[in-house]
Amino acid sequence: MKKFGRGMATIMFGFGYGEGFPDHSIASIEIKEDERIVIRTAAADVGQGVITTVIQIAAEILRINPNYFEVVQGDTHKTKNSGSTSATRQTYFTGNAVKKAAEDMLANLYHYGSLEFRSNHPEIAIEDGRIYMYDDPDDYISYWEMAERVKERGEKLEAEGSFFPVTYSPDENGQADKVYVAYTFLSQVIDIEIDTDTGTIDLLDVYSAIDLGKAINPKNVEGQIEGGTVQGLGMGMMEDQVIRNGKTLNAGMTDYLVPTSVDVPKFKHYLVEEEDSEGPFGAKGVGEPTLIAAAPALANAVYDAIGVRFFELPISPSKIKKALKEKEKEENS
């Protein structure tokens, strides 16, 4: 028999290292004469999309098409420290560092613009890679020409930004002013169907509402939610490392199962954009929080479907079948 179940879980996640640990990111931007804008950051993109994110941020501040950007990343010879890609921190930390570098660059464009046009900042317009006087848009200097002219002055059209937020270690009661830079919240509802004969769980739908401050790239955010949730569901229903006498007995994908395309549910996302006061354009981190609610929501859905509480993961078909048998015995006695 198939039994439907719906479960929900809500989590909060403080991101960045927090607790007073020195956590920062440094980035720089250079405008080149050959129509390139180079961002330098050590932030590692492991697929989560930090490179896309920082380009979007810099392009927005510098009012120019993102296609002109190039990112030099993760080279200790060419980039300064951005901290690790961990703790759900890169969008927030490196996003802010790049935003500050871009703002400094914009200030430089105004500064050199006012020197070139012999005028003041309020008279000057900057848009689409052009610097001009408001009343004469046709007489413009492109960013690239400006880079050339700055070079002729013996300087470089470059800027740097860093982000060094302060956090505090909690006291003996677990309290402090600011333990983490900010918190991401996520609620998930998961619908499942359990086959009571085989004990298998069919994942139907997952509804996720995430308070992420601002989705700088909504598609990347959805990708993070889907990927994290599927990892959490894998942990919830199949991933089981079997260790005996210090040895992993199932170190391979034939016996350590992870979800495949056949297993995954359908998704619906609700992005709650309550801007964070310190995040770049209000954004908060979304990586790790997307994994946490899945297993508890699944366990609640299982309870809703068959009335059994599980306190150990994964909730495998054999465990479900065993629990159903025990339940039947109890009800009959």
Instruction: Decide: is 249 part of the binding site for another protein (CB under 8 A).
Output: no
Specify the residue, 47 or 307, whose C-beta has the smaller distance to another protein. 47
288 is catalytic: yes
Within 8 A by CB and 6+ apart from 250, the residues are: 240, 241, 242, 256
Contact status: 231 vs another protein (CB under 8 A): yes
Q: Which stretch binds another protein (CB under 8 A): 47-55, 60-68, 118-126, 302-310?
A: 47-55
The verdict on 1 binding another protein (CB under 8 A) reads no
**Stretch of 147-155, 214-222, 310-318, 320-328 contacting another protein, by CB under 8 A:** 214-222
Residue 241 sits in the site that holds another protein (CB under 8 A): no
Does the protein bind another protein through residue 227 (CB under 8 A)? yes
Told to check if 2 binds another protein by CB under 8 A, we report: no
Q: For residues 18 and 49, which CB has a smaller minimum distance to another protein in the complex?
A: 49
- Give the active site residue among 155, 288, 326, 330: 288
Q: Which is nearer to another protein, 167 or 229 (CB)?
A: 229
289 binds another protein, rule: CB under 8 A:
no
CB of 259 to another protein, least distance (A): 8
Residue from 23, 30, 211, 222 that binds another protein (CB under 8 A)? Answer: 222
Q: What is the 3-state secondary structure (H, E, C) of the chain?
A: CEEEEEEEEEEEEEECCCCCCCCCEEEEEEEECCCEEEEEECCCCCCCCHHHHHHHHHHHHHCCCHHHEEEEECCCCCCCCCCCCCCCCHHHHHHHHHHHHHHHHHHHHHHHHHHHHCCCHHHEEEECCEEEECCEEEEEEEHHHHHHHHHHCCCCCEEEEEECCCCCCCCCCCCCCCCCCEEEEEEEEEEEEEECCCCCEEEEEEEEEEECCCCCCHHHHHHHHHHHHHHHHHHHHCCCCCEECCEECCCCCCCCCCCCCCCCCEEEEEEECCCCCCCHHHCCCCCCHHHHCHHHHHHHHHHHHHCCCCCCCCCCHHHHHHHHHHHHHHHHC
Question: Applying CB under 8 A, which of residues 175, 252, 312, 330 lies at the interface with another protein?
Answer: 252
- Which CB atom, from 223 or from 317, has the smaller least distance to another protein? 223
Give least dist CB 90 to another protein, A. 14
Query: Is 258 an interacting residue with respect to another protein (CB under 8 A)?
Result: yes
Q: Is 165 in the site for another protein (CB under 8 A)?
A: no
Footprint of another protein (CB under 8 A): 46-49, 219-220, 222-223, 225-231, 252-254, 258-262, 264, 266-267
Query: Mind telling me the catalytic residues?
Result: 288
